[in-house]
């Protein structure tokens, strides 16, 4: 998984994020992971880009929101 850091966050949180999402391969993995967070995200917001592409938004640490591009 490639992480695009558009907010230029510090190296330590970015490394923690990289470790946290390293095993995510499917939308099911993402949903399971979001439900296991310290503040569980039971139903992430989904933004429809087109009929095949959706962004799944998950709040994560210190007011950061992760946007996962899914197709």
In this prediction, residue 48 carries a pLDDT of 92
Q: What is the tally of helices (H) and strands (E) in the chain?
A: 2, 3
Instruction: Examine the pLDDT at 1 and tell me if it is beyond 80.
Output: no
Residue-wise pLDDT tens digits, 19-64: 888 989 888 999 999 999 988 999 899 999 898 888 999 988 777 8
In this prediction, residue 16 carries a pLDDT of 86
In this prediction, residue 2 carries a pLDDT of 77
**Strands annotated E in 1-71:** 45-48, 54-60, 64-70
In this prediction, residue 47 carries a pLDDT of 93
């Amino acid at each position: 998984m490639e992480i695009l850091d558009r907010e230029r966050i510090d190296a330590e949180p970015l490394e923690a994020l990289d470790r946290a999402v390293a095993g995510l391969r499917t939308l099911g993995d993402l949903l399971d992971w979001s439900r296991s967070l310290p503040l569980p995200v039971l139903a992430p917001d989904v933004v429809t880009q087109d009929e095949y592409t959706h962004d799944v938004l998950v709040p994560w640490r210190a007011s950061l929101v992760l946007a996962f591009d899914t197709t």
